[in-house]
Amino acid sequence: MCSSDLSSSTVAVRIGRSRRACSGRSCQRIAPVRWRHLGTKGDAGVKITAVRSITGGIPIPGGGFSPAWWPGQVIRDLWFTLCVIETDAGIVGFGPGGFRTGGWTGEAFIRKHLLGRDPRTLDIGALAEHPESLPMAKGNRPVALEFALWDLLGKACGQPVYRMLGGYTNSIKAYCSTGSVTDAGAHIDFAHDAIARGYRAIKLRMHRATVDHDLAVVRAVRDAVGDRLEIMADANQAQNPYWTRADALRAARGLQELGAAWLEEPLAMHDAEGLAMVAGAVDMPIAGTENEYGMPRYAEFLKRGALDILQPDLEGCGGLLEWRKIAAVCDAYRVPCLGHVWNNGLVVMVALHASCSVPNAPYLEVTDDPFWPARERDLILAEPIRVVDGMVQVPSGPGWGVDLDWDAVRAHTTSEAVVRL
């Protein structure tokens, strides 16, 4: 965090060519891009002057795709939400949202608790748990605002977020995740492309007509790539129709024989007893919880031994601080806690920082699929996410360490709201 003696702390601010945050009709010039010292808090200081919510959508190439987790549905746009916090010193904090974040509420709260305040003096934990509704909240937790406050605080203190939270590592193993159930040939192409893009691990989708068909596809990919890739499998709760416990166990045993790294959500997540049965019958890890909300549910899976890996969604579980609480409980059980996200590149950056701030998050999921390509995923970022030798490095800059491409944001914005000092 910042120095405990705020009166003597220095602050860095980006200056240079301004970028623009825009609604469909108008543009607001935002912030600077290189750093200078502001001086001490005893000087002019830093003051929050505006909080804005931007929502938009990026068309998915080919007219959309059918996600494995929503059988029969088609996603045509990659929707995003941004919380942007501006200051009189030129520092701007960004917080991402996506599928799991709601709309704009809480103007009175913003005026009371944020506008006019120095971001270095804000208690982010208290704000994140405040009972009043806030911008872009999941339930009543302001996840996108919390993310933006961490970015802002990191920039004000000149430190990356993961390091402010303790910092265990500055890089993490990435696995490339496909989003659709496709045939063996498409999955083999996906695997070869992943290797060419620097990945050393991939996740394949399951739940075709039969478990035998699923295992045949994984076997074909394994035969094609050998040991050049770790292979994970995701059944997305094997719905419509749901797998039986016998189906799940058969799939788990087959994947174990193929050397899979784990099987994700082989049963409906309400069936903790069935998951515990499967997990207890195989040595390969069973994973899940991306669609679970609330500490009691995560604790239940851990107490039952129902899952060997927990994957709380950074937005869905209630934000960065809540995710870290879950990771700490998992660590007490010696269970890995992987930060789940599925949306734009800025959300992936949040998960990267969160994962690198705890000791038990060995993998990061990076969406990179022919139907959900990296170009569209990273379109609102000034620089794309890079995977080198299977690893993703935390950017060295303060906050999330990334800039936004405001031209891309403007081109795809559908609505904007702002509260000003």
What are the DSSP calls for 301-347, one per residue?
A: HHHHT--SEE--BTTTTTSHHHHHHHHHHHHHTT--B--B--S-HHH
Average pLDDT of the segment spanning 292-312:
94
Pair type for strands 171-177 and 391-393: antiparallel
**What is the domain extent for residue 141?**
6-159+404-420
Residue 16 has pLDDT above 50, yes or no: no
* Same domain, yes or no: 87 and 137: yes
Q: Residue 118: what residue type? A: D
* Same domain, yes or no: 145 and 181: no
Confidence of residue 131 (pLDDT cuts 50, 70, 90): low
* Same domain, yes or no: 265 and 146: no
* Same domain, yes or no: 131 and 233: no
Task: For residue range 373-382, list pLDDT tens digits in order.
Answer: 889 999 999 9
Residue 399 lies in a domain: no
The whole-number pLDDT of residue 75 equals: 82
The whole-number pLDDT of residue 306 equals: 97
* Same domain, yes or no: 170 and 237: yes
Closest by CA to 78, choosing from 312, 272, 368, is 368
Residue 1 lies in a domain: no
Confidence of residue 105 (pLDDT cuts 50, 70, 90): low
Closest by CA to 364, choosing from 384, 383, 386, 380, is 386
| In contact, 421 and 51? CB cutoff 8 Å | no
* Same domain, yes or no: 97 and 110: yes
Q: How many domains does the chain have?
A: 2
Neighbours of 219 (CB within 10 A): 15
Give how far the C-alpha of residue 274 lies from the chain's centroid of Cα atoms, to the nearest Å.
28
Residue 313 lies in a domain: yes
Residue 70 lies in a domain: yes
Closest by CA to 140, choosing from 162, 186, 109, is 109
Residue 132 lies in a domain: yes
Task: For residue range 176-199, list pLDDT tens digits in order.
Answer: 998 778 889 999 999 999 999 999
Q: Residue 270 belongs to a domain with what CATH number? A: 3.20.20.120
Which 3 state secondary structure label does DSSP give 191?
helix
* Same domain, yes or no: 132 and 254: no
* Same domain, yes or no: 152 and 186: no
Residue 398 lies in a domain: no
Task: For residue range 189-245, list pLDDT tens digits in order.
Answer: 999 999 999 999 999 999 888 999 999 999 999 999 999 999 999 999 998 888 999
Q: Residue 19 belongs to a domain with what CATH number? A: 3.30.390.10
* Same domain, yes or no: 281 and 309: yes
Residue 389 lies in a domain: yes
* Same domain, yes or no: 57 and 182: no
Task: For residue range 333-358, list pLDDT tens digits in order.
Answer: 999 999 998 778 999 999 999 999 99
Residue 73 lies in a domain: yes
* Same domain, yes or no: 187 and 141: no
Distance, CA of 78 to CA of 74 (rounded, Å) = 11
* Same domain, yes or no: 409 and 337: no
- Helix ranges (DSSP H) in 183-319: 184-196, 211-225, 245-257, 272-281, 295-304
Q: How far is CA 328 from CA 203, 299, 321, 338, in A?
A: 25, 11, 11, 12
